[in-house]
């Protein structure tokens, strides 16, 4: 029987929304595995809009749900309508939208808060024993809401290949067990049914990011 998977988006574009290549990789791997996918996003304004040519904020306002529809080819539902009982698993791709629109990690780091609907959903999926898959920066959501969980955001020693390694140290400071993994690997926390992979937390070729996300998707589906 096909697994029913909720994919939670945070906009469209790495600097202010969902990382498009990560979302695409998740969708391709779910499609190949025969998953039945429904996409969701909050119906709210983004924290800000970033000019992706310059990497600088503009004065625009954009809606997270409407921007997510660009990735979902129009088929996206308000996150407030996500019914946990209708799904076997949930997957959250990365991108700065996770840290800006699904939470305020980008501003408050370890002291962040999570978007209220998403906080309840993550806790409800966990309570129901349904797996969660997260990649790139999205494991910070689990770090905040699932105390003591095991996860990966890649490596914990900063270098050219791993420019965001300080995030791993923040995970440890929050009481999580960070497990060093390469970009084409994923970590499975069996106890918490949490599967994570680093994706673009690593300066890696696109195909390796794609492969690592594939492992994350496969392992999430195995737990469903």
Who's near 45: CB < 8 A, 6+ residues apart? Answer: 61, 62, 63, 64
d(CA 90, CA 88): 7
> Which of 26, 119, 104, 34 lies closest to 72 in space, CA to CA?
26
Through-space distance between the first and last CA atoms of the chain, rounded to whole angstroms: 11
Q: What share of the chain is helix, strand, coil (3-state, %, to 5)?
A: 40, 20, 45
d(CA 109, CA 24): 27
Query: Which residues are known to be catalytic?
Result: 136
């Amino acid at each position: 029987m096909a697994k029913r998977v909720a994919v939670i988006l945070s906009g469209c574009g790495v600097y202010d929304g969902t990382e498009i290549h990560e979302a695409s990789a998740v969708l391709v791997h779910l499609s190949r595995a025969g998953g039945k996918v429904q996409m969701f996003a909050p119906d709210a304004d983004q924290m800000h809009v970033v000019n992706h040519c310059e990497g600088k904020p503009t004065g625009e306002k954009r809606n997270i749900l409407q921007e997510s529809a660009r990735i979902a080819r129009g088929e996206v539902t308000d996150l407030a309508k996500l019914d946990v009982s209708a799904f076997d698993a949930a997957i959250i791709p990365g991108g700065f939208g996770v840290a800006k629109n699904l939470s305020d990690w980008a501003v408050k780091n370890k002291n962040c808060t999570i978007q209220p609907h998403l906080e309840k959903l993550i806790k409800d999926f966990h309570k129901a024993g349904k797996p969660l898959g997260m990649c790139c920066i999205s494991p910070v959501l689990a770090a905040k809401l699932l105390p003591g969980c095991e996860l990966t955001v890649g490596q914990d020693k900063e270098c050219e290949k791993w420019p965001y390694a300080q995030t791993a140290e923040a995970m440890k400071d929050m009481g999580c067990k960070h497990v060093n993994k390469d970009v084409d690997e994923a970590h499975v926390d069996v106890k918490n049914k949490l599967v994570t992979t680093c994706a673009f937390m690593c300066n890696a070729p696109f195909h390796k990011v794609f492969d690592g996300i594939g492992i994350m998707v496969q392992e999430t589906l195995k737990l469903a």
